Structure 1
Amino acid sequence: MKVSQLYVYPVKSLRPTTITEGILTTRGFQYDRRFMLLKVIRAEDGSGTTTLMNMHVSHSPEMTLFHTDIEYPQTEKDSGKLIITYHPPPSEPAPKALETTRLQIPLQPNPKSLNPLKVVMHQSPTTAYNMGAEYNDWFSACFGYSVVLAYLGPNSREVLGTLAPAKQNKKPVLRTIRESITRPGRKWERILPILIVASGINIFLQGAVLALVLYYFYTQHAKNEDRITFADCAPYLVISETSVDNVSARLPEGEEMDRTKFRPNIVISGAGEAFEEDFWGALTVGAGLDRGSPKLLLTGNCVRCQSLNIDYETGKMGTGESGAVLKKLMKDRRVDSGAKYSPVFGRYAFLEPKGEGISLRVGDEVTVAEKGTRRSVFDWPGLTN
């Protein structure tokens, strides 16, 4: 099997940027889902108060009218550019309030110059930054209602449920501490428990030293915790070309399923059977030079919603057979007991830490390193049904 396509989504729910090579990080491809849009909701009581609501393509199909492109930094002082192009529906002119259908955004804004705001996605909170009127007004003119462009900056979100590899292999705290103490090369840490016992000057001192030790191990664990950006549930989404072909075969002759409607990061070609990825546990991808080939750990299914039915050209729900893809998949793809009313397509994936910074290219070979015999069960509080 090989990597056939790679996609980055610099702004959540807008069209992707197609890339031929991407830098892998434990939080997704570099620059993936670092921005998102929030709809401004004004109070009905006339008080003038407002709240911000997360925008997702399933509820705001007009988001598909925005195309993205990335101009990567060429020097250390160059922050790069994110270019957004608005394509009005064929039957509608561009809004009169819009001076240009093209917007340039710094790829790496300085958060210190921006106002922070709280964002909660699927019960997982984080702090983001309001990009300001220059960008908010442009998007608002395109949408026809007020929106805010938010930038994640250096922040991240917790992976809830058991999707994160560390949570699937969770060990008791004392066992984690014991393994860390006995790990080669950490001699001074082995001495700490001895110091705690030997320092029996008084109970207070012992408690203080013990608290420091536990705090150290807690912070070390936090550093290695799986985190995500504005992606829904995991840093990567992997799909198979063979499975896309299966969906295309359900459409009228001459029609093909647009693979980008599945919002993948990595598309794999060469799978022998449709949906065999349901049982992939790990994929070996790319080449890490002296570090060896890293693995993508596939921990859960991606359960699907009505976003599959959107007509990307009109920014509205599709009509005819292409507007009924979700219903077609309902017939035989409701295979996850954790989300029994939703069809499954694709797998959520996490990168092994040793793969940080390695490049993945279109054409790279992919090998199934681990394969399960049981279906995984989707588990994210508030998202299961």
Structure 2
Amino acid sequence: MRVSQLYVYPIKSLRPTTVNEGILTPRGFQYDRHFMLLKVLPAEDGSDTTTLKNMHVPHFPEMALFHTDIEYPQTENDSGKVIVTYHPPPSEFGPEPRERKRLEIPLQPNTKTLNPLTVTMHQSPTTGYSMGAEYNDWFSACFGYPVILAYLGPNSREVLGTLAPAKANKNSALRGIWNIVTNKTTDKKREWFLPVLVVAFVANILIQAYSFIRQGKTPQTASSLLPALLAPVALVLYYMLHAQPEDRITFADCAPYLVISETSVDNVSARLPDGTEMDRTKFRPNIVVSGAENAFEEDFWSVLTLGSEKTRLLLTGNCVRCQSLNVDYTTGKMGTDESGTVLKKLMKDRRVDKGAKFSPVFGRYSFLETRGSGTNLKVGDEVVVAERGKKRTVLDWPGLTN
């Protein structure tokens, strides 16, 4: 299998930036979902107090009218740009395209000049920063109501539920030990794991033997040395299994990466009228894989290795789907033809996750092993299924509304 498409979403829920290569980090592709939009809601009592509502494309389908591109930094003094282009929907008075609007946003704003605000997504809060009037007013004019463009800055959010690998595997102590020894750890721990154990054993044998000799005693059985030998081993194992780096995310819903299969997209296209292809970007993927033999076989993928460096991607849970699949990307409204029935079509046979019995599944939430951070993933890179699950994963996520 191969990587066929890569997508970065600099601003959550807007159209993606298609890239030929991207830098992998534990929190997603570099610059992925570092911005998001918030609708300003006036107080019901008429006071000056306002509240902010997170904007997501299933609830604000007009977000699909905004296209994004990224100009990556070229020098140390270059902060880069996010370029947003607003494509107004066709006029009710004729099919002629209306004038497009363009906005350039610094890719890495200076947060010292911005006002902080609290952003809570799916019960996981963080601090963001309002980008200010220049950018907020531009988006407000396009949407027709007041909005705020928020920047994440250096902050992040906690991964709730059991999607994070450290939480999903917290009861698998023996598996954790095995992964450390067989070079399947998430960092450099294996390099010193075995040497530390060897040193601990040898040191304790020498210390205990010297102690017995000084006391004029001869150990009759190995059991007399057992407590001293097990103590350092237990200490090292406890540290190795519990000192795992915490998984954090940006403004992504609940995982840093979403992986989908071209074969599964083709299966959805086959459910639509002849000549109609499913727009894969409606699934909001980061990594699209081609060459899978069967549709939806990714339901059982547990670990993928990517590229020549065999970077490991851990697939921990299913992505359950909502009305965003039915959005018409041309009009910025829910589709009124067959494209507006995609969610219903998937309901027939894709409600396969017991943790989300009323939602269809398409794609897999994924996390990068820490030692793969900084790897450059390219379109065309090889993808190998390193591990498969024997049974389906069950989604355990507090943000689930089923």
Give the structure-2-normalised TM-score: 0.82
2:305 corresponds, among 279, 284, 300, to: 284
- Residue-by-residue CA offset, 1:164-213 (whole Å, 9 max, x unaligned): 0000111599xx9xx99x946779xx9xxxxxxxxxxxxxxxxxxxxxx9
SS in structure 2 at match of 1:160 = coil
* Other structure's SS at 2:29 match: coil
Please state if 1:332 is matched with 2:327: no
Structure 1 residue identity aligned to 2:294: E
Give the equivalent residue in structure 1 for 2:324: 307
Alignment of 1:1-385 (within 5 A): 1-91=1-91, 101-170=101-170, 183=193, 221=243, 224-288=245-309, 293-385=310-402
Q: CA deviation at 1:337?
A: 0.4
State the Cα deviation string for residues 207-257 of structure 1 (Å, max 9, x = none). xxxxxx9xxx79x947x1010000001000000000000000000001000
Deviation at 1:382, TM superposition (A): 3.2
What CA distance in whole angstroms lies between the structure 1 residues aligned with 2:99 and 2:256?
36
Which whole-Å CA distance do the structure 2 matches of 1:136 and 1:99 have between them?
20
Shift of 1:352: 0.6
SS in 1 for 2:384: strand
TM-score by length of 1: 0.85
* Native 8 Å contact 1:378 1:384 kept in 2: no
User: 1:12–1:231: 8 Å Cα contact kept in structure 2?
Assistant: yes
> What is the match of residue 194 of structure 1?
none
Q: Using the alignment, how far apart are the partners of 1:273 and 1:46 within structure 2?
A: 57
Taking the aligned partners of 1:46 and 1:349, their CA distance within structure 2 comes to 44
Q: Work out whether residues 65 and 315 of structure 1, in 8 Å CA contact, stay in contact via their aligned partners in 2.
A: yes
Q: Which amino acid aligns with 2:341?
A: A
| Separation (CA, whole Å) in 2 of partners of 1:336 and 1:43 | 39
**Closer, same or farther: CA 275–50 of 1 in aligned 2, 3 Å:** same
Q: Find the residue that maps to 1:278 and give its secondary structure.
A: helix
For residue 44 of structure 1, report the CA deviation from its aligned partner. Answer: 1.9
> Cα distance, 1:115 vs. partner?
0.7
Counterpart secondary structure, 2:90: coil
Asked whether the equivalents of residues 261 and 288 of structure 2 are also in contact (C-alpha less than 8 Å), the reply is yes
Q: Distance in 1 between matches of 2:133 and 2:380?
A: 42
Q: Deviations over 1:20-67 (max 9, x none)?
A: 000000000000000000000001211121000000001000000000
Q: Which amino acid aligns with 1:110?
A: N
Determine what percentage of the aligned residue pairs are the same residue.
76
Q: Counterpart amino acid of 2:323? A: Q
Shift of 1:6: 0.3
Whole-Å separation in 2 of the counterparts to 1:172 and 1:343: 29
1:91 Cα deviation from its structure 2 partner: 1.5
SS state of the match for residue 128, structure 2? strand
Instruction: Find the aligned partners of 2:172 and 2:71 in 1 and give their Cα distance.
Output: 45
The residue identity in structure 2 corresponding to 1:261 is: K
Q: Could you tell me whether the CA contact under 8 Å between 2:88 and 2:99 is conserved in 1?
A: no
Aligned length: 347
CA RMSD in angstroms comes to: 2.6
Alpha-carbon deviation of 1:100? 7.0
CA contact (8 A) 1:338 1:384 kept: no
Judging changes above 3 Å, is the alpha-carbon distance between structure 1 residues 24 and 147 closer, same or farther for their aligned structure 2 residues? same
* Residue 287 of structure 1, CA deviation: 2.7
Q: Could you tell me which residue of structure 2 aligns to residue 209 of structure 1?
A: none
How far apart in 1 are the matches of 2:172 and 2:313? 25
The amino acid that maps onto 1:278 is D
Displacement of 1:384 after TM fit? 4.8
CA distance in 1, matches of 2:100, 2:316: 43
| Separation of aligned partners in 2, 1:40 and 1:165 | 36
SS state of the match for residue 325, structure 1? helix
Would the alpha carbon gap of residues 171 and 378 (structure 1) be closer, same or farther in structure 2, given more than 3 Å must change? closer
> In structure 1, how many angstroms separate the alpha carbons of the residues matched to 2:84 and 2:53?
21
Structure 2 stretches lacking a partner, 5+ long: 181-188, 201-234
| Per-residue deviation, 1:113 | 1.1
Cα deviation per residue 1:75-107 (whole Å; 9 max; x = unaligned)?
0110001100000002269xxxx9971000000
Where 2:281 maps in the other structure, the secondary structure is: helix
